Amino acid sequence: MAVVAIGADKQGAEAPQLHRTDLPNGLTVLSEAVPGARSVAFGAWVRAATLHERPEEMGVSHLLEHMVFKGTRTRSAQEIALSLETLGGSLDAYTEREHTSYQARVLDEHLGEAASVIGELIFEPLLKPEDLALERKVILEEISMVEDTPDDIIFDVHNRAVWGDHPHGYAILGTRDTVKSLDIPHIRALQERAYHPGRLVVAASGRVEHDQLLEVLDRAGWLTRARGDMTPFALDPVEAAGPHAEHVKRKDIAQTHIVLGGQGIAHGDSRRYAFALIDMLLGGGMSSRLFQRVREELGLAYSVHTFSSAFADTGVHGVYLATAPESAQEALDAVREVLREVASEGLPEADMLAGKRQLRGQLVLSMEGVSSRMYRAATTALYGEPFRSVDEQMALVDAIDEDTVRDVARDFFDPDRHILVSLGPKAVR
Starting from the edge strand earliest in sequence, which strands make up the sheet with 245-249, in order?
Answer: 245-249, 419-424, 256-263, 315-323, 303-310
65 catalytic? Reply is yes
Give the C-alpha separation, 330 to 325, whole Å. 10
* List of long-range contacts for 295-304, beta carbons under 8 Å, 24+ apart: 298/330, 298/331, 298/334, 300/327, 300/330, 300/331, 300/334, 301/331, 303/151, 304/331, 304/335
The Cβ of residue 81 has, within 10 Å, a number of other Cβ atoms equal to 13
Q: Please check whether residue 108 is in contact with residue 207, taking contact to mean a CB–CB distance below 8 angstroms.
A: yes
Which run of H or E residues covers position 107? strand 100-107
| Residues contacting residue 198 through CB under 8 Å, at least 6 positions apart | 25, 26, 27, 227, 228, 229, 230
Q: Please check whether residue 178 is in contact with residue 193, taking contact to mean a CB–CB distance below 8 angstroms.
A: no
One of 53, 57, 65, 135 is an active-site residue; which one?
A: 65
Q: Please check whether residue 281 is in contact with residue 351, taking contact to mean a CB–CB distance below 8 angstroms.
A: yes
Cα–Cα nearest to 194, from 225, 159, 230, 218:
230
Q: Which residues pair with 257 in a beta bridge?
A: 322, 423
Three-state secondary structure call for residue 29: strand
Query: β-pairing, 90-95 with 28-33?
Result: unpaired
Please give the positions annotated as active site.
65
